[in-house]
Amino acid sequence: MPTLMREPAAGRFGDFGGRFVPESLVPACDALAAAFQDAWADPAFRAELDDLLAVYAGRPTPLTPARTLSAALGVELLLKREDLAHTGSHKINNVLGQGLLARRMCKRRIIAETGAGQHGVAAATAAALLGLEATIFMGERDIERQRLNVLRMTTLGATVVPVTTGSRTLKDATNEAMRAWVADVDGAHFLLGSVGGPHPYPWMVRELQRVIGEEARAQSPYVPDVVVACVGGGSNAAGTFAGFADTAARLVGVEAAGGAAMSSGRPGVVHGARSMVLQDAEGQVAEAESIAAGLDYPGIGPEHAFLGAAGRAEYHAVKDDEVIAAVRRLARDEGIICALESAHAVAWVLREAGGPLLPAGSRIVLTLSGRGDKDMATLEATA
């Protein structure tokens, strides 16, 4: 198993990962990998990032006992509260690191993709803080269902570019963001939001998100039996798992049933990396479907594909109606309105508690990756 600290050899996680990009992007990827390796080993860079995470992003986020749900389900459930970080999700951890790296590389602009808008808001926030221009690509369908986050991005000074091709969701936004990077590779940094894409992104984003798992492990009074997080591309899960991979805890990723690349996909290449990918009979990338815009993606990060194939992590799927019910149950029992993405992990716990996958008495750490104010219109429409 590749180490969860050092750069994976050739960007590979077993049979997954790598770099499948146009020749024009190879030097940029090489330069980015070298720059991140250098920065990550630089105490001054790490100190500046740690300071921003503490005084700007609000870290550490708490590990909150879900007492009412725990009593009702017969388990002990602890919630890692990334919804309380600045901008309302775990995305701030990654964008502050990549934003500092972009500035260190003398880039004037960041380019980013977004689905639910949480990464777009975080990227726009980091750009405003660090004096960078920001161009955010977002699918037209996602713009319609995430109007609040679009307004937040533009208020922060970012340019939001609607994507009208394909399914008009995250996959297509990522396509267009990568094309824009090719066109301005010298002046722009592609600030990818998840642990997908070509090397060094899966490794770099996981390292920037590992603060979630490291904090949770230090905060937990015990090594949990199960560590669970939602998975689309999988950055919050990768960061959470990194803190517990060397323990006996089971690592559980929860996908959207309509975008379950681990259970319904097969090996293939999407956005520059080999991973598990939803495909049609001809091997073309298939469309994903989820009520959560951030999980509406046909692939998964290559390290997740590796961890699943190696048996170190397991991946399950929940349906949209289970997700809606989970948002409402968590809100009414614990007073926490989480994002639809995060609710996938909650829904799995609600479904499995007391059964063979989560026996009575199980001790669980669950990452709430984001808050749910962005999803109020969707919840109202399903009432």
Which residues does the annotation mark as catalytic? 91, 113, 369
Q: Are 294 and 323 in contact (CB under 8 A)?
A: no
Q: Are 136 and 150 in contact (CB under 8 A)?
A: no
Separation CA 183–CA 86 (nearest Å): 32
User: H-helix or E-strand containing 79?
Assistant: strand 76-81
CA distances to 261, 292, 338 from 253, in Å: 11, 15, 17
Residues 6+ apart with CB under 8 A from 304: 195, 231, 234, 237, 238, 253, 262, 275, 276, 313, 315
* Residue from 366, 365, 368, 60 nearest 222 by CA: 365
Residues 6+ apart with CB under 8 A from 379: 324, 327, 328, 372
* Beta-strand pair 12-13/16-17: antiparallel
